[in-house]
Amino acid sequence: MNQDSEQQQKLEQMRREYTRGGLRRTDLAGDPLAQFRHWFDEAVEAGLGDPTAMVLATVAESGQPSQRIVLLKRLEELGFVFYTNRASRKGGELAHSHLASLLFPWHPLDRQVKVAGRVEVLGQADAEAYFASRPRESQLAALASQQSEVIESRDALMAEFNELNERYADQPIPLPPHWGGYRVVPTEVEFWQGGAHRLHDSFRYRLTDAGEWHIERLAP
């Protein structure tokens, strides 16, 4: 058996049962954000690493999807808030489509939460307030990095970081003009709980034209 065949066999044999418990309609809150808060609190209590980490999916004008991990920084009545470089690839794709999807992969709990919705750009005052709360090194990194652009080397990036550190040694670091916040306002939220024999439990909240949440059980 060659190396490729051995690797393929290992991949095919990687599986486990999901036995942490089921999910029933009676377990669910009437509002998806209330249900998310409940599951998020349980993820924190369980000691999950990076429970705020979420996969952000966007789509380019060409139709090519792309994904990356960002951090949830605020959960509001209207949706999920994160901050990033608006001149980055994801910023450009969000400006094009104004739509996005989020995925919270809480594997130790055999849970996933998937969010789909429209994206709103937050205002300057909001960006300034959050940027000011970040550690100084994170502020410098946001100013030094032209996110998603090709760079010469890590040394060049660190040289820019160090130069900015010296320039603003005794003064506040300004908000980069290309940096700010987004809010994903959900139109669909899906809660997935792993089940034995691949018979998982999955419920989707779908926002109707009347502005009400309709809950549906989905086949695994």
d(CA 120, CA 184): 6
Is 94 annotated for ligand binding?
no
Is 148 annotated for ligand binding?
yes
User: b/e for 169-205, b at 16 or more Cβ within 10 A?
Assistant: eeeebebbeebbbbbbebebbbbbbbbeeeebbbbbb
Is 83 annotated for ligand binding?
yes
Is 139 annotated for ligand binding?
no
Is 215 annotated for ligand binding?
no
Is 89 annotated for ligand binding?
yes
- DSSP per-residue codes, 182-219: EEEEEEEEEEEE--GGG--EEEEEEE-TTS-EEEEEE-
Is 145 annotated for ligand binding?
no
Cβ contact 204:216 at 8 Å: yes
Is 192 annotated for ligand binding?
yes
Is 134 annotated for ligand binding?
yes
Is 168 annotated for ligand binding?
no
Is 114 annotated for ligand binding?
no
Q: Which of 20, 37, 167, 198 is catalytic?
A: 198
Is 179 annotated for ligand binding?
no
Nearest 5°: phi and psi at 34?
-65, -40
Annotated catalytic residue 15: no
152, amino acid identity:
E
60, amino acid identity:
A
Torsion, CA 34, CA 47, CA 111, CA 7, rounded to 10: 160
d(CA 38, CA 40): 5
Q: DSSP code of 46?
A: T
Binding-site positions for substrate read 73, 130, 134, 138, 198-200
Binding-site positions for FMN read 68-73, 83-84, 89-90, 112, 147-148, 192
Binding-site positions read 68-73, 83-84, 89-90, 112, 130, 134, 138, 147-148, 192, 198-200
Give catalytic residue positions.
Answer: 198
